[in-house]
Structure 1
Amino acid sequence: MSIPSRSSTATSSVGRVAIIGGGIGGLTAAIALRQRGIDAHVFEAASALGTAGAGLWISPNAMQLLQRLDLAGAVIAAGVPLGRAEVHDAERGLLQRLDFSDASQRFGVPTVAILRHRLHAILAARLPNDRLHVGAPCVSVTTTHGVRAHLADGRTIDADLLVGADGLRSVVREYVSPGVAPRYSGQTSVRGVASLALPPSLAGVSREIWAPGRRFGFSAVAPGEVYWFATFDAPPGIAEPPAESAHHLHALFDRFPPPVSDLIETTDDARLVRTDLHDLPRLATWHRGRVALLGDASHATTPNLGQGAAQAIEDAWVLADRLARSVSVEAALREYEAIRKPKARFVVDRSWQVGRLAHLSNPVGRAVRNLALRCTPASVARRQLDRVYVLDY
């Protein structure tokens, strides 16, 4: 199929845009493009949008962009604004407290905890039904006769620009930067949503608890619903039946402080999601000709900074903005990379470091880490957050 030409109101040099991948980044890119009068179609491999994953935190850098897209209010209403984040040692107690209210006041938007499928629904509702194509997995990309995506059912999609927002195992990336393999962190995760009301002391709090080789984090995402994750050292590729995963979690975290055991206990085993944690080596380029990458397809990160979705949203905004402003698609893609690469690389590198730090097993290393976190001044923590939260576009 050939995507219809762009609206006559568009001022961009790009006409037909095909986005491969209907995740948060792909949907946000389509919304941002439409805001600028550029039409885009989204092609998602799954048979339905937003069926995977559990919960996530949307930080102020992403919330500022959702506000520009007139989506921030809906996201806040569907989630829980967070007032602070805490890091605890399982044995030694509180190590660090981060005040989110300060960032909320300075940037005009909160950090929001939300279920992934609710965010997907908010984004999808902003796009016409005929711009979302599900059950449409892309198997390859060619550029012999323009830009063309080949779908698994034999259809071909012709476009002026193809955007690969198809995640860690991106098919589109294989065209842009062939042979790049994800890097396994040595850690796997199990995520769930518990049917539990947290005590008032934990309202609006995101808490992580660290122990040798494992950690546990949680926050409320709605009244009576708590998103949680458990991360632990493990070989890659291990598949466990849900009941066995739950049993394993109880064994790993039974000595963690409340409400960890209750969260595991009140979660439906069948809804547990296990994911090995990977990131990507740095790519030399995020585009080739008129094929570009976005989000995890270009800079997948481990989730230790809670920035995966936020960085994809930043990509989507900058890509759409550059396409609307630049004299050519090629110039827009060069500018997009130049703007986005530095922060994306910082997030990937810093997230990897935090993952290693959180799982330290050596007692001396843990003691040094704990002391460093306790002694970090609030002003230093604020500067570190601002390196991610501040937008310069």
Structure 2
Amino acid sequence: MNNINRIAIVGAGVAGLALAILATKRGYKVTVYERASSVCSIGAGVTLWPNAMFVLQQLGLESEVTRAGGKPAYMRHFNHYGVQQGEFDIEEVNLLCGFPSVTILRRDLMKILVKAFTDLGGTICLSCSIKAQDIVSLKQKFDLVVGADGRMNSAVRQFLYPKTVTPSYHGFINIIGVSKLSEDSVSNTICDFRDNAERFGIVPVKQGWCYWAAAWNTEIARERTLADWQKEVHARFKNWPKPVRSVLNATDKATLNRIFVHDLEPLPYWHRDNVVIIGDAAHAPLPTSGQGACQALEDAWHLIQLLHPEVNLNDALTRFYQQRFTKTTAAQTVGRQVAQKIFVEQTEPQSPSNISATQLSQFWMQGL
């Protein structure tokens, strides 16, 4: 029998907080540990495709997220001269899925998740760095320990795989930021500019706000300052179309960040005893998959559905892995394929406009 009462969640990101909300609503006693001094909003923004919005509906947060975000109607692909190469009708897929797609600044999404958890009486233990050696005591103190502590330095994953799992660098950097434009020049369209192994994506949110990501091939150089990377972004994209230049010139400098893009190889298991990993700790895809936050939210929903009192915990966690592995691996594979074509082959990757709305909706809503 599954006699779970107390759950420890390591990491107050999208996956961890979503699970904390769902578990608290089910009556579990949840403790969330976060290594940072505040809930982190690294990452400029998130596109929540219909599968993510399904989970947010289960969380009771669909309306609030929709109000805080934007509702893109199209995704358009351009070369670096601004010539349109393709178009994807987002609203058509939304209709088939039965849920909207919403773009939102990550800081706004995290505020909503934190408030929902604390309104339920939940507490986040900030500045509490859990290391791999701490997991032994946690697994004795709690009935279930969930690692939602990210792709790069997951202590819970290290506990499950001591020194054997290392995230893979894929040779390109993302410089990200948030901009507020005086004119809503990017409208309700996600714009993806790419050419010659460089990419610049602009995602509108609402009221002139947008988030963006600039990407190109580079070696890891952590010693370079953010100001250096900012100068390089402006130099690389100074002759690109006007929307790119406008967004760069309007960037809120406090939101700038640089990410050396890594992912994980698919793992043969995600749990041992009463310890399990979810989200990026388990299956971090490249941002070119467009499914990182979406799959993290799905993890939280699927896991809580399986924690029935009459089901053995090991059986529940095994079923969780079996249910999620195929879809999360597909997201990882798609992310790698798109990145390979953009940054290595320098050919046009298969875009959503080359996939039928029916196929895409079936993939996004698979298992939900």
Alignment partner of 1:260 is 2:244: yes
| Matches of 1:145 and 1:266, distance apart in 2 | 48
CA gap 1:146/1:126 in 2 versus in 1, 3 angstroms: closer
Residues 18 and 161, structure 1, Cα contact 8 Å, conserved in 2: yes
Cα RMSD after superposing both structures: 2.2
Question: 1: distance between equivalents of 2:58 and 2:37?
Answer: 30
Which range is displaced more, 38-47 or 190-199? 190-199
Q: Aligned letter for 1:188?
A: I
Q: Do structure 1's residue 388 and structure 2's residue 363 form an aligned pair?
A: yes
CA distance in 2, matches of 1:99, 1:261: 25
**Cα displacement (A) at 1:384:** 4.4
Question: Contact conserved, 1:43 with 1:137, CA < 8 A, in 2?
Answer: yes
> Identity of counterpart residues, as a percentage?
31
The answer to whether the Cα contact below 8 Å between 1:21 and 1:164 also exists between their aligned partners in 2 is yes
Give the Å deviation of 1:388.
Answer: 3.4
CA–CA distance in structure 1, aligned partners of residues 61 and 193 of structure 2: 32
1:315 touches 1:340 (CA, 8 Å); kept in 2?
yes
CA distance in 1, matches of 2:351, 2:110: 35
- Residue in structure 2 matched with residue 111 of structure 1 by the alignment: 101
Stretch deviating more after TM superposition (344-353 or 263-272)? 263-272
Aligned AA for 1:391?
A: Q
Residue 74 of structure 2 is matched in structure 1 by: 84
Partner of residue 5, structure 1:
none
Contact 1:50-1:116 at 8 Å conserved across structures: no
Alignment partner for residue 134 of structure 1, among 122, 126, 141? 126
Q: 2:135·2:159 contact (CA, 8 Å) conserved in 1?
A: no
Structure 2 vs 1, CA of residues 240 and 262 (structure 1 numbering), >3 Å: closer, same or farther?
Answer: farther
The answer on whether the counterparts of 1:141 and 1:147 sit within 8 Å (CA) in structure 2 is: no
2:155 counterpart residue number: 171
Contact 1:147 1:159 survives alignment (8 Å): yes
2-side partners of 1:251 and 1:384: how far apart? 39
* Count of matched residue pairs: 364
Structure 1: stretches of 5+ with no match in the other structure? 1-10, 149-157
Post-superposition offset of 1:36: 2.1
> Is residue 37 of structure 1 aligned with residue 22 of structure 2?
no
Q: How far has the Cα of 1:391 moved from its partner?
A: 3.3
Structure 1 residues 267-301: Cα deviation after superposition (integer angstroms, max 9, x where no partner): 13343110010000111100011100000100011
Q: Is the 8 A contact 1:141 1:172 kept in 2?
A: no
Cα 1:94–1:384, aligned 2, differ >3 Å: closer, same or farther? farther
Instruction: Spell out the pairing of 1:158-197 with structure 2 (5 A cutoff).
Output: 158-168=141-151, 169-178=153-162, 179-197=164-182
Q: Select between 383-392 and 164-173 the one with higher mean Cα deviation.
A: 383-392
Q: What SS does the aligned partner of 1:236 have?
A: coil
Contact preservation (8 Å) 2:150, 2:280: yes
Q: Confirm or deny that 1:220 pairs with 2:204.
A: yes
Q: Sort the Cα spacing of 1:223 and 1:296 in 2 relative to 1 into closer, same or farther, 3 A.
A: same
Give TM-score, length-normalised by structure 1. 0.87
Mapped partners of 2:55, 2:61: distance in 1: 9
Using the alignment, how far apart are the partners of 2:18 and 2:137 within structure 1?
Answer: 28
Larger Rg: 1
> How far apart are the structure 1 equivalents of 2:131 and 2:92?
46
Matched, 1:355 2:339: yes
C-alpha spacing 1:338/1:72, structure 2 compared with 1 (3 Å): same
Partner of 1:3: none
